[in-house]
Amino acid sequence: MSSFSTRFSKVLTLLSLSLYSALAAADTQPPVVVALDADLSAVAAEGGEALRKGIEIALAEINEQGGLLGRNVILAASDHRGNPARGVKHIKQLVETDNLLAIFSGVHTPVVLAQLPLVHQHNKLFISPWAAGTSITNNGHNPNNVFRVSFRDEQVCQVLIATAKKRGINQVALILERTAWGRSNYQSLIAYAQQQGVDIVSIQWINWRQEQFDTEIKAIIESQAQGIILVANPPESVIVSRTLLASQNANLPILSHNGLAGGNFAQELGIDQLQQLNISVIQTFNFLKQDNPTARRLAAGYYKLYGKTEKTAIPAVVGLAHGYDSMHLLGAAVEQAHSFDTDKVRQALEQLSYMEGAVKNYTQPFSERDHEAFTLDDYFMTTFNSAGYLVPVTNK
């Protein structure tokens, strides 16, 4: 127990020190803290890292412009490894942190859902730049402190079903992880499939760290499914893909939720295996698709902080863009509210009128009733190129 709090403090202290020492000269007031509690080392580490980098790039820009309300902003990152219990523990520590402006959540919906009560209990702003569970924003809290600059399962399911239908897949099988996230998608998929006249012919659940998936794939094949909608994290997605390959049904189309993009799916599966499969992944951001000035600024910031690389090769790139945009949206709200107070910033967020972002230009991104920054128009399908990187699907 003691060691975990120690580790957490260490991360925090190190970050604080490095940023603080660089910026301390500019301001005598203590810096404002934004926190990121995400999986930085386990199943979706790439997603967590992308979020961290996105936020850091935005912070670098903000601090360069003089910070928020004249105060430097620093990021405190903690690693919950996808384990809700760790996430809850981190929130308990974070709510005690001085000068905390907001908490950014990570990839995993189950962790975010476990953290929600505590966050609201302590009236902290909670921003989800990745986790997509519908009930994260539809959480029943009033006031609702959660804002999302990311996928919403309800929307994702709608797009996936529509994509399936557009591709002539009228009989679809579902593979869902056996968690709150899987169930969040399950409800939406059932609803939209019925609405669109797509038959769900098989529903298979997969446990975290499940190793065998043959029986389930066999059932899917026998159900005459024409395609699969996959809602799982990278490790489980790899198991599903391998089993599908082994069953000689590699050409069965897979329409995947963004969960697959949160880790190193392509490397784990192997490029050769990947090439044999027909996988499409729903995305909101890709440097090849979004070529706006903000996206270019994001790329420049990335190169500056983390070195030059192929733009398409940046892992879990939606995390980078979401983190970046959400930090700027938060910054804009603080400036608009002219306060760090949770209630005032929340109201400012709900009243933001316009901001140019990397994913899109946000026009009234949130309202009192709607804390979702994205609409159905913001989604598009991608697929893996020969190098194993996601690229937008054209002509489809």
Partner 1 sequence: MTTPVSKRPTLYQQLQHHIVPRLLVSLFIVGTLLCATIFYFAQIQITSEQQKFTEYLKADLQYSLENTQQLMQGIASNDLLINSFIDIEQRENYLPVFFQSLKFTRTEQFSLGLFQFDGSPIISRNWEGVVPAAFSDAWQYTTLQRSEPYRQVNEEGVLISVPVIISSQAEGALVLFLPFMQAFINARGNDAYQFILSDKNTILYTSHPARFPPGSLYARNEFMGWIAEEQSWLGLSFISQAPVFNAFSNVLWLVPAILMTLGSAILVSIYTSNQAARLSATTLQSLHDSIRQSARKKTAISSQAPDNEPQELFAIRGAFDGLIQNLMSMSLSNQQFSNVIDSLEEVLVVVDDDNNKLLINRTFTEYAKEFEITDSELLAIKRKLESGIDHLERHYLAAPIAIPVTIRWTMLPLTDDTRKQLGTILVGNDTTHKKSLENRINVISHAMKSATVALLIADAQAEGFPAIYVNPHFSTVTGYAEDQVLGQPTLFLNGMKAPQKKLIEVNAALHSGSSFNDTLLCYRQNDVPFYNQLILTPVYTDEVLTHFVVFFQDVTEQEQTQQFLEDAKQRAEESARLKSGFLASMSHEVRTPLHGVSGALQLVNKTNMTKEQLRYISLAKDSLRNLQHIVDDILDFSKIEAGQLGMEAIQYDLPLLLHTIYEQNSIACQNKGLTLLLETNLQPHTRVIGDPVRLRQILSNLLSNAVKFTEQGTITIKIDMQRSRNGAWLLKGVIEDTGIGIATNNLDSIFEVFRQEDISTTRRFGGTGLGLSISRQLCRLLGGDLFATSKKGQGSQFIFTLALGYVDATSRTDPSIEDTSPALGPHGKAKVLIVEDNEINQLIAREHLSQHKTMTTRHGKEALEALNRMKLTFDMILMDCHMPEMDGFETTKRIRNGEAGEKYKNVPIIALTANAMKGDKEQCYSAGMDDYISKPFTAQDLQDVVAKYMA
Please give the residues from 282 up to 301 whose contact with partner 1 meets the rule CB under 8 A: none
From CA 109, how far away is CA 77, in angstroms rounded?
18
Is the separation of the CB atoms in 380 and 393 below 8 Å? Answer: yes
Name the minimum Å distance from CB 88 to partner 1: 9
From CA 329, how far away is CA 133, in angstroms rounded?
21
Name the minimum Å distance from CB 3 to partner 1: 6
Contact residue for partner 1 among 139, 158, 179, 241 (CB under 8 A): 179
User: Is there binding between residue 90 and partner 1 (CB under 8 A)?
Assistant: no
Contact residue for partner 1 among 20, 208, 306, 380 (CB under 8 A): 208
Name the minimum Å distance from CB 139 to partner 1: 13
DSSP H/E element including 279: strand 279-283
From CA 74, how far away is CA 91, in angstroms rounded?
17
Q: Which stretch binds partner 1 (CB under 8 A): 108-116, 195-203, 276-284, 292-300?
A: 108-116
**CA max distance for the chain:** 68
Q: What letter does residue 367 receive in the DSSP assignment?
A: -
Contact residue for partner 1 among 10, 166, 209, 396 (CB under 8 A): 209
User: Is there binding between residue 91 and partner 1 (CB under 8 A)?
Assistant: no
From CA 316, how far away is CA 18, in angstroms rounded?
26
Q: Residue 84 or residue 301: which is nearer to partner 1 going by CB?
A: 84
Q: Which residues of 339-361 are buried (b: 16+ CB within 10 A; e: fewer)?
A: ebebeebbbbbbebeebebbbbe
User: Is there binding between residue 215 and partner 1 (CB under 8 A)?
Assistant: no
Q: Which stretch binds partner 1 (CB under 8 A): 23-31, 48-56, 175-183, 384-392?
A: 175-183
Contact residue for partner 1 among 83, 123, 170, 385 (CB under 8 A): 83
From CA 248, how far away is CA 67, in angstroms rounded?
56
Contact characters 5-44, partner 1, x per CB under 8 A? ------------------------------------xxx-
Name the minimum Å distance from CB 89 to partner 1: 6
User: Is there binding between residue 96 and partner 1 (CB under 8 A)?
Assistant: no
Q: What is the DSSP string of 332-362?
A: HHHHHHTS--HHHHHHHHHH--EEE-SS-EE
Name the minimum Å distance from CB 45 to partner 1: 8
Residue 175 corresponds to which amino acid?
Answer: I
Is the separation of the CB atoms in 234 and 268 below 8 Å? Answer: yes
Which residues does residue 127 pair with via DSSP β-bridges, in sequence order? 104, 147
The burial class, CB within 10 Å (0-12 / 13-18 / 19+), for 297 is middle
Q: Residue 227 or residue 234: which is nearer to partner 1 going by CB?
A: 234
Binding region for partner 1 (CB under 8 A): 1, 3-4, 41-43, 81-86, 89, 108, 110, 113-114, 178-180, 183, 207-211
